[in-house]
């Protein structure tokens, strides 16, 4: 197996990169936007400009409604929507622009029995591990059924980004929960998700699956796809996109991603990638 190569964003030669990739994917939370928050004006403008240069995908564990709020409501008509590919719930669903609206092109929903088993296992093990907080400490849904994905969020979906980052900085808590739930559900994929979350999806579904589907949809080899994300550690949910063979770029915050996009746009402006 080839080694997984992950590039730090500030070490990439953007003029070289645009000769090596034909499409690029992005994580959403802590990459394109602060967790559960809309894109900034500057990000919306830069991201939209990039869609006018090359196919862009967003691959996130979040549900489609978050894509609407965090991305689509911000870009409006600025983006080339035919060049934008939305892959919520880790690529278990795919939305494309049909000329008048965003349409779901496929969805791989979990079997009802598996969804029930996932919810029961997450609940039981979170309580056993002391991760089931009092109701008044949780903001938003704690366990969310996204159809194709069950997500446990220790602090609730709408907890503040600062609270999420402070809760489990070394990721031991949610990695322990993921391991315990995985032992219960060998027929499913269980993984550490965002900063406070654990996701359960169909077997074999992760961001490497999403990248392979994107490759087929665009008719672009995986090796010619870039991917930008903040969770590139081996336990992180962006790592599978790197392991799939993309040109993986690690960022730590949306400002880094904005610098990535500006670097690409500047490189395109030289004419090398036109």
246 annotated ligand-binding residue = yes
184 annotated ligand-binding residue = no
197 annotated ligand-binding residue = yes
Strand order in the sheet with 93-97: 6-8, 247-250, 225-229, 23-26, 56-59, 84-87, 93-97, 102-107
End-to-end CA distance of the chain: 34
Separation CA 83–CA 66 (nearest Å): 19
Could you tell me which residues come within 8 angstroms of residue 234 by beta carbon, excluding any fewer than 6 positions away?
Answer: none
Residues 79 and 58: beta-carbon distance below 8 Å: no
Separation CA 60–CA 238 (nearest Å): 9
Measured in degrees and rounded to the nearest 5, phi and psi for residue 121 equal -65, -45
Strands, DSSP E only, in the chain? 6-8, 23-26, 56-59, 84-87, 93-97, 102-107, 143-145, 150-153, 188-192, 197-202, 225-229, 247-250
Tokens 């406070």 appear where?
A: 196
170 annotated ligand-binding residue = no
82 annotated ligand-binding residue = no
29 annotated ligand-binding residue = yes
Separation CA 86–CA 109 (nearest Å): 17
Residues 110 and 201: beta-carbon distance below 8 Å: yes
Can you say whether the dihedral through the CA atoms of 67, 202, 154, 162 is positive or negative? negative
Helix (H) or strand (E) holding 246: none
Catalytic residue positions, numbered: 27, 29
Binding-site residues, please?
27, 29, 146, 197, 199, 230, 246
Residue numbering of the annotated binding site for alpha-D-mannose 1-phosphate: 146, 197, 199
Annotated binding site for Mg(2+): 27, 29, 230, 246
């Amino acid at each position: 197996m080839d080694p997984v190569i992950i590039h730090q964003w500030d070490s990439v030669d953007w003029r070289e990169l645009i000769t090596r990739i034909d499409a690029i994917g992005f994580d959403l939370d802590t990459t394109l936007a602060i967790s559960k928050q809309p894109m900034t004006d500057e990000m919306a403008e830069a991201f939209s400009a990039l869609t006018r240069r090359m196919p862009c995908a967003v691959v996130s564990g979040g549900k489609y409604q978050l894509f609407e709020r965090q991305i689509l409501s911000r870009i409006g008509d600025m983006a080339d929507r035919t060049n934008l590919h939305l892959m919520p719930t880790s690529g278990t669903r795919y939305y494309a622009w049909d000329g008048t609206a965003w349409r779901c092109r496929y969805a791989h929903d979990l079997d009802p029995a598996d969804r029930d088993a996932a919810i029961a296992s997450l609940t039981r093990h979170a309580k056993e591990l002391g991760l089931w907080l009092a109701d008044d400490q949780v903001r938003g849904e704690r366990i969310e059924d996204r159809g194709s994905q069950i997500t446990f969020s220790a602090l609730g979906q709408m907890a503040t980004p600062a609270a999420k980052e402070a809760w489990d900085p070394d990721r031991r808590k949610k990695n322990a929960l993921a391991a315990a739930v995985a032992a219960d559900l060998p027929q499913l994929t269980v993984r550490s998700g965002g900063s406070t979350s654990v996701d359960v999806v169909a077997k074999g579904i992760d961001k490497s699956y999403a990248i392979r589907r994107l490759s087929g949809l665009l008719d672009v080899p995986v090796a010619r796809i870039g991917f930008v994300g903040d969770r590139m550690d081996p336990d992180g949910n962006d790592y599978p996109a790197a392991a799939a063979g993309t040109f993986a770029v690690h960022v730590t915050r949306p400002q880094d991603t904005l610098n990535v996009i500006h670097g690409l746009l500047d490189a395109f402006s030289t004419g090398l990638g036109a």
